[in-house]
């Protein structure tokens, strides 16, 4: 199969996945409004966007990593540890810049270690990043002595998480800016093109002279930083940090990426679809809550959706001679 044909097939796959995700989003909105007319109120829309912001920011990093054919399962305790570190340092008087800077350094460090495991040692990202998640959980327990720490939240973090600007919630605006940058990077930059090429055929990209290890470093560091940013906003939203605060963000952002049409095998997709996927998972959570479905039922639902879409997209994206 020629390169042009392969690009055409993957382009068609991406467009199809995005179209399906936005069509599903419209259907879910209609269903939600039918079940509860108050769902369409501005207050509820703002609340849904607030929740979507945390998932959407994490999903930025997951989209980049999944495009390379990898996955990042270190998000939950990267988010938890960096948030607790930020709140603790700020409470001890180190100042906003030092506290947030330290949290971001944690995210960068986690991303670098993940990239080294995948790109240098050639270990499977699922196993390596899951091990990193367990390591971060242990480090958090040691750092906090296993006790929920007292939280002192910077005022600016509270403003970013729950503040309003011109009548609009600030957190979704932050997400919108990050989303626009991500879409631009994927569509217009060399790094974006290399992400897709790595997921399509990494050995061929390496033989063409591209340092594919740097591509993995960029993707995993971005994922680590996005987890930290989401944790900072979540800390401001909850006005506290607590052990396990990132546990709910392992499966859902990955589901958002896959529902949005990004191929779990890498090489096809993008963040335009992930935005729809993020809103879909938030709406699904709300609809399941309205239907009085418990957390176990929600997990089963998301698991079945991921399995079904992975099988569907993998079948459609598989090239044929």
CATH number at residue 194: 1.10.3470
Q: Which residues contact 218 (CB under 8 A, 6 or more apart)?
A: 64, 191, 195
**Mean of the pLDDT values across residues 117-138?**
95
Examine residue 141 and state whether it is found in any structural domain, yes or no.
Answer: yes
Q: What is the pTM of this model?
A: 0.92
Which structure tokens are listed for 112?
């670098």
Quick check: 102 and 157 in contact, CB under 8 A? no
Average pLDDT over every residue of 85-99: 94
Asked if residue 183 belongs to a domain, the reply is yes
* Residue that wins the pLDDT comparison between 292 and 170: 170
Over residues 209-215, mean pLDDT? 93
**pLDDT for position 187:** 94
Kindly state the percentage of the chain with pLDDT values over 70.
92
Measured on CA atoms in the order 254, 77, 65, 98, is the torsion positive or negative?
A: positive
Summarize the confidence of residues 232-260 as an average pLDDT. Answer: 93
Total domains, the chain: 1
- Give the closest residue to 60 by CA, choosing from 229, 283, 199, 308: 229
Residue 2 maps to a domain: no
Does residue 8 lie within any of the structural domains?
no
261: pLDDT strictly greater than 90: no
Q: Which sign, positive or negative, has the C-alpha torsion 52, 308, 223, 265?
A: negative
Name which of 163-172, 229-238, 260-269 the model is least confident about.
Answer: 260-269
pLDDT at residue number 263: 86
The mean pLDDT of the chain is 89
Mean pLDDT along residues 7-24? 67
In a domain, 9, yes or no: no
Q: Could you tell me if residue 104 is inside a domain?
A: yes
Residue-range definition of the domain harbouring residue 24:
17-317
Whether residue 33 lies inside any domain: the answer is yes
Higher pLDDT, 209 or 59: 59
- Residue 276: pLDDT over 50: yes
Residue 263 token pair: 């191929």
- Classify residue 10: in a domain, yes or no: no
pLDDT (0 to 100) of residue 265: 85
């Amino acid at each position: 199969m020629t390169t042009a044909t392969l690009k055409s097939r993957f382009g068609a796959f991406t467009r199809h996945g995005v179209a399906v995700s936005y069509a599903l989003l419209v259907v879910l909105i209609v269903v939600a409004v039918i079940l509860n007319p108050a769902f369409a109120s501005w207050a509820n829309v703002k609340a849904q966007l607030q929740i979507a912001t945390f998932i959407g920011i994490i999903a930025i990093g997951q989209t980049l990593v999944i495009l390379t054919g990898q996955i990042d399962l270190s998000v939950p305790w990267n988010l938890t540890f960096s948030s607790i570190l930020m709140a603790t340092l700020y409470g001890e008087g180190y100042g906003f810049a030092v506290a947030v800077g330290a949290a971001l350094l944690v995210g960068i460090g986690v991303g670098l270690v993940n990239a080294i495991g995948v790109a240098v040692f050639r270990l499977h990202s699922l196993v390596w990043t899951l091990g990193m998640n367990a390591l971060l959980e242990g480090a958090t327990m040691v750092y906090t002595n296993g006790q929920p720490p007292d939280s002192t939240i910077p005022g600016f973090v509270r403003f970013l998480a729950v503040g309003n600007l011109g009548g609009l919630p600030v957190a979704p605006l932050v997400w919108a800016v990050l989303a626009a940058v991500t879409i631009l990077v994927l569509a217009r930059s060399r790094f974006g093109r290399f992400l897709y090429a790595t997921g399509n055929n990494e050995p061929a990209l390496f033989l063409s002279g591209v340092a594919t290890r740097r591509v993995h470093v960029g993707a995993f560091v971005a994922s680590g930083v996005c987890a930290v940013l989401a944790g900072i906003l979540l800390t401001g939203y909850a006005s506290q940090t607590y052990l396990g605060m990132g546990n709910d963000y392992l499966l859902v952002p990955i589901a958002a990426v896959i529902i949005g049409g990004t191929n779990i095998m890498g090489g096809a997709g993008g963040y335009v679809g992930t935005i729809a996927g993020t809103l879909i998972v938030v709406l699904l959570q709300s609809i399941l809550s309205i239907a009085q479905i418990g957390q176990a039922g929600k997990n089963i639902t998301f698991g079945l959706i991921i399995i079904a879409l992975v099988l569907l997209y993998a079948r459609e994206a598989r090239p044929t001679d």
